[in-house]
Amino acid sequence: PPIIRREDYRPFDWAVPEVALDFTLGLQATQVRARLSLRRNEGVTADRIRLNGDGLTPVAVKVDGEASNSWAMDGSDLIIALNGDMHEVEITTAINPAANSQLMGLYASNGMLCTQCEAEGFRRITFFPDRPDVLSTYRVHMSGDKTQFPVLLSNGNCTAKGEAADGTHWAEWHDPWPKPAYLFALVAGELVARHDQFTTMNDRVVDLGIWVRPGDLDRTEHAMESLKRSMKWDEDAFGREYDLDLFNIVAVSDFNMGAMENKGLNVFNTKYVLADAETATDGDYDAIEGVIGHEYFHNWSGNRITCRDWFQLSLKEGFTVLRDQLFSQDMGSEPVKRIEDVRVLRSAQFPEDSGPLAHPIRPDAYREISNFYTATVYNKGAEVIRMMRSIVGPERFRAGCDLYFERHDGEAATCEDFVRAIEDGAKIDLTLFRRWYSQAGTPKVTVRLEQDGDAAVLHLAQQVPATPGQPDKQPMPVPLRIALFDRASGTHAGERLIVLEDGSASFRFEGFAERPILSLNRGFTAPVSIDRDVAREDLEFLAAHDDDPFARYEAMQDLVVGHLTAAADGRLAEGDRPGQRAAIGRALGGVLADAGLDDLMRGELMILPSQTYLAEQLATSDPAAIHAEREGLKAWLGHELQDALLAMHARASAVPFSLDAEARGARKVKTQALVYLAAAAPDRAAELAAEQYDSADNMTDRQGALMVLTGLESPHRTHKLIDFYNRYRDNPLVIDKWFALQAQSLHPQAIEHVKALALHPDFTLRNPNRVRSLYMAFAANPHAFHKPDGEGYRLIADLILALDPINPQTAARFVPPLGRWRRFDAARAALMRGELERVAAAEKLSRDTFEQVERSLG
Ligand code: DPP
Ligand code: ZN
């Protein structure tokens, strides 16, 4: 497969102002007639047009109304000879949606038809210039069997519908907003809707519909409320108003991604729509709100302004992730949301940035764009824009965004366009800051605080590590919010933002008789790793007293990370262990007892750094050692704080169910308490968890209890797993949880459980949610995945090989866990590499998997 390069971008020769699509729908056979109006762009002399296809053969081609044979296939693309400036071409194709297991293009899911076109799925429906900088208005006509496809949806507004005598019916849709093909959508099937309305800031009434399969309707209320909140928030926070009379969301159970922002017709994975207290956790509720917001916000950051080419993906994704993060911060607890987002960044993006798949948020080259829908493009992309916002402040940032929307509305834009709009609108020079777009790798900032007479001097130095294809890096502006706590009073005189512009800099702070305590990167203003020598007493102080909740969490984490990495790396003198554990115990005890904390925040502070994040701190790591140390600490803490944890569990259990912050917080600390108790006193914890399971009136408590039980050797484990399965056997999303809990469990036999579950009648490679629930959960379970004999690696490689012919996009997502081989001990590294080589040797690999394996071995 060829390498596509950003520097090779050229505009397309032709404009396609209008597209008319006519679908004759059938599950096994759908006919598509596409009529494209074409206008040759100024200064272009081309006498032909290249239309992308993927697995298509033209049934008929017409040019200007006449059957034509001046066309030829070039690979999978269709080339049509055209000698004038304006033409109309009409192409007929026939496709088989039921055979489409890739879930890209038009496919069948549970008897309904739906589409996924981002990034390059439209070319699986018809021949088209399938690139985001070709914008067209679409008119869609579809007809199909009335009983099989009672509901017919597409983008924009429904302009006409009718019935035929032969049992078919039809509908016509028109989307007045020019859009790239990746935003096209069509859905046909037996669906029911929750309807509502939203009145915009300019008093326009928008009809809202959330479409699901019959039987799922009573689980759509939260999604609808989330949608209305999103629409209101985008008006309030960004001044963005919705621009059609209709906004539809359809939930589909077979879906590669989370959801898709098609204009006026979002298509969602059911996972991000369906919720009620009985079947969805508090985390699920939050995720639904966040994803509904995300896709809705794309209407401006993605649809009204789209991307010029796929290298600019972060233009819409980084910005939209930031927008959904800010939305969720405003809807719930701001600090808790910030901590969660940083945790995701550190466990998913930092490893990507330090491994073979590292790439800048605006990549320079790809073979398969699906492989670049990454934590780097999305989450680091959001952090980069958040930094701009932190530097200029929210008001000036808003002015920059306003200018961006005004300047580029209706265009296919670039990341550079965005940066320039922020520069001009927020009045700031971002010349050096642009390096964040071109350089991969997580910068490391080294920090030293020195006392000089009555002043504290802060020395900062940064280093951006080498990444594949980028051996030498330049320094990037790093904004750090800081506060200096006076040792005597335990307070600080206000926080400030400093920006490390260069490789190194020193900052002097007058008026400190003795060295203050430094609180750094408050709110996580910069996505960097920090290297500093800080006294444990200072961390203990910050963990107990820092007024910035994120910094408080960070101090708590640092305390644990310092201890566990040293211990797992064999650098901890045994004599130091008790003192370090005691310090952590005091800090955690303080968190349990602190009446000033709400439980949602307390729950965050109780979560130990993940094994992945711990491993990330070491050049090479032994997962078994990290696991043993982390579990050992957990057991020690659970034992040491047993009374407080039991009391907390009892207190939280008495809080009745509701969706308010207090009750959610109670549920969070309740299960966290069990997690520690399970490590310290497994029998007692199993009893408590079984009780929690039985008395649960909501999924958060029930899943939490089952999660703890799944890791234990207890008769309750078996009973509750069986009960859970039987209770929810008809609900695929809950059965996904059942698979995932077992695959990610602390149980020593987890790998055997995974092997057995792969043979379970409910397991299938055809449903991405199910595949992820078993195998992603497993690949993220270090003690099982990294078994020293390499069996975990073999399982994942086998999965990749089996899944690749069915669904390459999802298969390729399983390569990164193996691709981390350089970061493990020599024996594991060899085994992991061996499995990658086995995959590479397969006779026929998709472009997706080929690229990821190639980069991982390279
Ligand atoms: N649907 C994916 C998202 O919203 C890709 N655009 O992020
Ligand atoms: Zn998105």
Query: How far is residue 718's CA from residue 115's CA, in Å, rounded to a whole number?
Result: 40
Which CATH class for the 306-438 domain? mainly alpha
Domain 444-533, what architecture? Sandwich (2.60)
Could you list which residues have their CB under 5 Å from ion ligand 2? 317, 320
ipTM score of the complex?
0.97
**Nearest C-alpha to atom 5 of ligand 1 is from which residue?**
260
Q: Which atom of ligand 1 is least distant from the CA of 316?
A: 6
Please tell me the distance between residue 259's alpha carbon and the centre of ligand 2 in angstroms.
8
pLDDT at residue number 218: 98
> Closest-lying ligand to the alpha carbon of 321?
2
Which among 182, 266, 295 is the best mutation to test ligand 1's pocket, defined by most ligand atoms within 8 Å of the CB?
295
pLDDT at residue number 256: 98
Q: Which atom of ligand 1 is least distant from the CA of 259?
A: 1
Query: How far is residue 99's CA from residue 401's CA, in Å, rounded to a whole number?
Result: 44
**Nearest C-alpha to atom 4 of ligand 1 is from which residue?**
260
pLDDT at residue number 733: 98
- Quote the DSSP letter at residue 349: I
pLDDT at residue number 750: 98
Please tell me the distance between residue 419's alpha carbon and the centre of ligand 1 in angstroms.
21
Contact 783, 746 (CB under 8 A): yes
The domains of the chain are located at 4-190, 306-438, 444-533, 535-640, 643-715, 729-858
Please tell me the distance between residue 810's alpha carbon and the centre of ligand 1 in angstroms.
15
**Nearest C-alpha to atom 2 of ligand 1 is from which residue?**
260
Task: At 799, list the tokens.
Answer: 């999965």
Q: Which atom of ligand 1 is least distant from the CA of 302?
A: 6
**Nearest C-alpha to atom 6 of ligand 1 is from which residue?**
260
Residues 6+ apart with CB under 8 A from 93: 31, 32, 34, 56, 57, 58, 59, 125, 126, 127
Q: Which atom of ligand 1 is least distant from the CA of 291?
A: 4
Task: At 454, list the tokens.
Answer: 């009555």
Parallel, antiparallel or unpaired: strands 246-252 and 205-212: parallel
Q: Give residue ranges with CB within 6 A of ligand 1.
A: 118, 257, 259-261, 294-295, 298, 317
pLDDT tens for residues 512-557? 999 999 999 999 999 999 999 999 999 999 999 999 999 999 999 9
Tell me the one-letter amino acid at 443: P
Contact 692, 678 (CB under 8 A): no
> Closest-lying ligand to the alpha carbon of 323?
2
**Nearest C-alpha to atom 3 of ligand 1 is from which residue?**
260
> Closest-lying ligand to the alpha carbon of 315?
2
Helix (H) or strand (E) holding 16: strand 14-24
Residues 6+ apart with CB under 8 A from 314: 361, 362, 377, 378, 381, 384, 415, 437
Q: For CA atoms 426, 430, 433, 436, give the dihedral sign.
A: positive
Fold: same for 4-190 and 444-533: yes
Please tell me the distance between residue 316's alpha carbon and the centre of ligand 2 in angstroms.
7
Whose tokens are 């059911």? That residue is 270
Helix, strand, or coil here: 86?
strand
Task: At 328, list the tokens.
Answer: 């969720």
Which among 179, 184, 272, 317 is the best mutation to test ligand 1's pocket, defined by most ligand atoms within 8 Å of the CB?
317
Q: Is 637 left (phi over 0), alpha (psi -120 to 50) or beta?
A: alpha
Please tell me the distance between residue 426's alpha carbon and the centre of ligand 2 in angstroms.
25
> Closest-lying ligand to the alpha carbon of 301?
2
**501 a catalytic residue:** no
**Nearest C-alpha to atom 7 of ligand 1 is from which residue?**
317
pLDDT at residue number 685: 98
Which among 120, 179, 252, 261 is the best mutation to test ligand 1's pocket, defined by most ligand atoms within 8 Å of the CB?
261
Q: Which atom of ligand 1 is least distant from the CA of 378?
A: 7
Please tell me the distance between residue 1's alpha carbon and the centre of ligand 2 in angstroms.
26
Q: Which atom of ligand 1 is least distant from the CA of 317?
A: 7
What CA–CA distances, in Å, run from 132 to 106, 256, 294, 343, 414?
19, 20, 19, 32, 11
Record: fold of 4-190? Immunoglobulin-like (2.60.40)
Helix (H) or strand (E) holding 367: none
> Closest-lying ligand to the alpha carbon of 259?
1
Given a cut of 70, the residues of the chain with pLDDT beneath it are none
Tell me the one-letter amino acid at 478: V
Q: Which atom of ligand 1 is least distant from the CA of 373?
A: 5
Catalytic residue among 90, 120, 289, 295: 295
- Is the domain defined by 729-858 classed in CATH 3.40.1710.10? no
Please tell me the distance between residue 268's alpha carbon and the centre of ligand 2 in angstroms.
12
Interior/surface letters 18-42, b for 16+ CB within 10 angstroms, e for the rest: bbbbbbbbbbeebebbbbbbbebee
pLDDT at residue number 594: 97
Please tell me the distance between residue 261's alpha carbon and the centre of ligand 1 in angstroms.
6
